[in-house]
Amino acid sequence: MTTTLPFIHRFEPAEAPGKPPILLLHGTGGDENDLMPLGGMIAPGSALLSPRGKVLEGGMPRFFRRLAEGVFDEADVRHRAHELADFVAAAREAYGLAAPVAVGFSNGANIAAAVMMLRPEALSGAVLLRAMVPLTDAPAAAEGSLGLDGKPVLLLSGAMDPIVPSDNAARLAALLGASGAEVEQRVLPAGHGLSQADVNLARDWIGRLAPASA
Ligand code: MLT
């Protein structure tokens, strides 16, 4: 289903009551279709909302601009995080959704982390697959508590990830934790790509979340 909301997106309504809605955020070169099957596997019965990133890099959709691999245009990260949070608010109203749990992969995980930092009210939690720190001057340090109190975050990192250094992922876990999120980080024997262990861990973690209330 599509509406006139300001991102190209796909939406599948919930098939079971009380399941947390899921915001699917694809990686570089993906689109709104990419993670729909993953969403169905890890959050069966949940509503799925899947926007397409608006930034193009050599024709490949992304959620914010980067200057090089792992080097981000942080002004754009901030701008795009607010734009995405505004989309989530509009989609919640249009579709009657509770605050979603973001499930982001790679660039999608990085924008999800930025939304958690800048607009914590937009999300009720996040599964961050192969994420890294999206902002060097994360607002936790500059602006005190971020209102992430108790929000659950599952960070799944790859021990052999050539894009995300392990100390960077650990720093992201620490930053979100210092802002009050309940962070669980697992480092898997994997690279940047997803493995079956990611699917199993994400499904079990989402299954343990409290029922959603709109
Ligand atoms: C990013 O640009 O967000 C990260 O380098 C991950 C990627 O998309 O390759």
161 is catalytic: yes
Place 144 in a pLDDT band, splitting at 50, 70 and 90.
Answer: very low
145 is catalytic: no
Give the three-state DSSP class for 9.
strand
Mean pLDDT, the chain, integer: 94
Give, using CA atoms, the residue closest to atom 3 of ligand 1. 107
CB 28 near ligand 1, within 6 Å: yes
In this prediction, residue 72 carries a pLDDT of 97
60-102 pLDDT per residue, tens: 999 999 999 999 999 999 999 999 999 999 999 999 999 999 9
213 is catalytic: no
Q: In this structure, are residues 99 and 121 in contact, taking their beta carbons and an 8 Å threshold?
A: yes
As given in the structure block, the two tokens for residue 29 are 């070169």
Is the pLDDT at 146 greater than 70? The verdict is: no
In single-letter form, the type of residue at position 14 comes to A
CB 37 near ligand 1, within 6 Å: no
59-69 pLDDT per residue, tens: 999 999 999 99
1-19 pLDDT per residue, tens: 556 899 999 999 999 989 9
Place 141 in a pLDDT band, splitting at 50, 70 and 90.
Answer: very low
In this prediction, residue 198 carries a pLDDT of 98
As given in the structure block, the two tokens for residue 207 are 């299954």
**Can you tell me the distance from the alpha carbon of 18 to that of 71, in angstroms, rounded to the nearest whole number?**
39
Q: How many CB atoms lie within 10 A of CB 96?
A: 12
CB 110 near ligand 1, within 6 Å: yes
Residues with Cβ within 8 Å of 202's Cβ and at least 6 positions away in sequence, in order, are: 42, 103, 127, 129, 154, 156
- Structural domains in the chain, sorted by start: 9-207 (3.40.50.1820)
**Can you tell me the distance from the alpha carbon of 72 to that of 111, in angstroms, rounded to the nearest whole number?**
11
- pTM tops 0.75, yes or no: yes
Give, using CA atoms, the residue closest to atom 7 of ligand 1. 107
Torsion over CA of 41, 39, 178 and 209, rounded to 10 degrees? -60
